[in-house]
Amino acid sequence: MSHDTWAFYGRRVELDELREILRRKRWFFLKVSGRRRIGKTSLVQQALQAEGRDKILYIQIPDSDPAGVVSAACDFYALFGIEAAPPVDLRSLAASIGDLVRRGYVVAVDEFQYFHRKALFEFTSHLQFEVDRLAADAAEVRGGLIVLGSIHTEMEALLEDRSAPLFARLTHALDVPHLDIASVLEILRAHAEPTAERLLFLWNLFEGVPKFYRDAYEEKVLSADRNELVRELFFSSSSPLRGEAENWFLRELRGRYDLVLKYIARHPGCTNGEIHAHARSVAAGREKQVGGYLKVLRDRYRMVDQLQPVFAKATARNGRYYISDNFLRSWLAALATPAASVNFRPLEALVREADDRLADAEGHGLEQLVGALYEERSRKGLDGFCLTQRVQGFWDRGDTEIDLVALNEEERIVRLGTCKRAAERLAPDYPRIDAHVARFLDRVERVRGWRVERAAIATRHSPRTREAAERAGYIPQDLDELTAGL
């Protein structure tokens, strides 16, 4: 049954950690990082409320010049009723923050990564002066400073680079990950039907970003059919997610990496050579820039993952590339072009086209979801496969492909899984998969002599597909089984 109100879901570990910091009522300097929309601010608000901290100032830093930052800060001072002289420049802003913390305030500075900009960087030196004074009087200071940011490398440069003014000043750091799958299921049980098909559809689209589930809830489509949800969230003029990727992911890239990003989104698991070949085919000469593009997208923005097959060294040359965020991958692979065409083609045809593309992307999404479920079940001690190493796939020489390799090194068990969105597509594939498994076992000495289990994993199995899997020597698994007990 759907609940009438939205609640705070998941984050129990992070919330407990934050509450413990606040409960001490002494000086702290905390970094909270994580992708945009992941719920960093909501988490901090929840912890402050739970601990009854009412002396609070929240400032969101704009992507602006010093005057714009100071003006925005003054607006937040007024909004929170701060009884203090408003800042007039970056130096007085830092001094004012220090004074408020000394008076027992918790000051939260959001979008802190913008201080990495050359025009704003002097603020970090002014803040260092205040932080050092507060740390020297830590036993008497009852307030604290929280800085929140979403661009990993810029937050690291401001706070963890040895040459940075604020280096080694943090007392605590918290990285806010995606909601785990149990929390996503909690949302669906409260506001929709938590069927296997709906879980895969929404997780492939939103993964564990609470803001997106809340947007769907507020638009009253979290429990709607696929086409209605896609239409309302992405294709109307007031759709809350229509500009999300462009505004929050791609704005800072300014189109420089579209060639690489779109190809990886539409070809998850592509190789370096395939990306270079694509660049040559559509923009001769630009293939020379691909290596630099990949490095920036992987290391600075964390938009791209370069994964190696299980057992491979980190420096191996057979890595494959994936978009690291499900929402960005779904936007680039399935939604961006139809959404941009809304003024030129019939709406319902565009919605159907987008949904068909999303369904195609769910094949890779299922592999990701199954791997995440294996890890979550093992971490929580639930029935199932006991992992001792992170789930990964395996590929070798272009002739061997295993979707899932799960290891239990203590009991010497290796489980090799194949994933298909539709269970009916598994049975015709068993002879081919058997050949892949045989080549894997022949090439991977590490698991010789181990017990080998083969799993056939689908969104939902029927009695007939379960029986076919068992006859072929496979353990049938589906999302209902893998989410049981979460």
List, for residues 210-261, the tens digit of each pLDDT value.
999 999 999 999 999 999 999 999 998 788 888 786 676 666 666 677 888 8
Q: Are 393 and 310 in contact (CB under 8 A)?
A: yes
CATH code of the region 383-483: 3.40.1350
Please give the pLDDT value at position 1: 45
Q: How far is residue 301's CA from residue 150's CA, in Å, rounded to a whole number? A: 9
pLDDT at 298 > cutoff 80: yes
Question: Do 375 and 390 meet the contact criterion of CB atoms below 8 Å apart?
Answer: yes
First to last CA, the chain: 18
Residue scoring higher pLDDT (446 or 238): 446
Q: Rounded to whole angstroms, how far apart are CA atoms 484 and 486?
A: 6
| pLDDT value for 477 | 97
Q: Which CATH class is domain 12-175?
A: alpha beta
374-396 in b/e form (b: 16+ CB < 10 A) is bbbbbeeebebbbbeeebbbbbb
Q: What is the mean pLDDT of residues 480-484?
A: 97
**122-145: per-residue pLDDT in tens?**
999 999 999 999 999 999 999 999
**pTM: predicted TM-score of the whole model, two decimal places:** 0.90
Q: Are 297 and 261 in contact (CB under 8 A)?
A: yes
Rounded Cα distance, 342 and 356, in Å: 16
Q: How far apart are CA 134 and CA 141, in angstroms?
A: 7
Domain residue ranges of the chain, discontinuous segments joined by +: 12-175, 179-364, 383-483
Query: 421-425: long-range contacts at Cβ-Cβ below 8 A with a sequence spacing of 24 or more?
Result: 421/200, 421/359, 421/362, 421/363, 421/366, 421/458, 421/459, 422/458, 422/459, 423/456, 423/458, 423/459, 423/460, 423/461, 423/462, 423/465, 423/476, 423/478, 424/465
Rounded to an integer, the average pLDDT of 358-387 is 94
Judge whether residue 415 has pLDDT over 80.
Answer: yes
Could you tell me which of 104, 108, 129 has the C-alpha nearest to residue 54? Answer: 104
pLDDT value for 248 = 63
DSSP letter for 253, please.
G
Task: Please give the average per-residue pLDDT across 300-317, as a whole number.
Answer: 82
DSSP 8-state code for residue 31: E
Residue 77 DSSP SS3? helix
- Residue 30, beta-bridge partner list: 146, 172
34: phi > 0 → left, psi -120 to 50 → alpha, else beta; which? left
Locus of tokens 């802190």? 112
CB 213 within 8 A of CB 222: yes
State residue 153's pLDDT score: 77
pLDDT tier at 291, thresholds 50, 70, 90: confident
CA distances from residue 209 to 35, 110, 162, 393, 432 in whole angstroms, order as listed: 9, 18, 32, 25, 37
**For position 362, what pLDDT does the model report?**
92
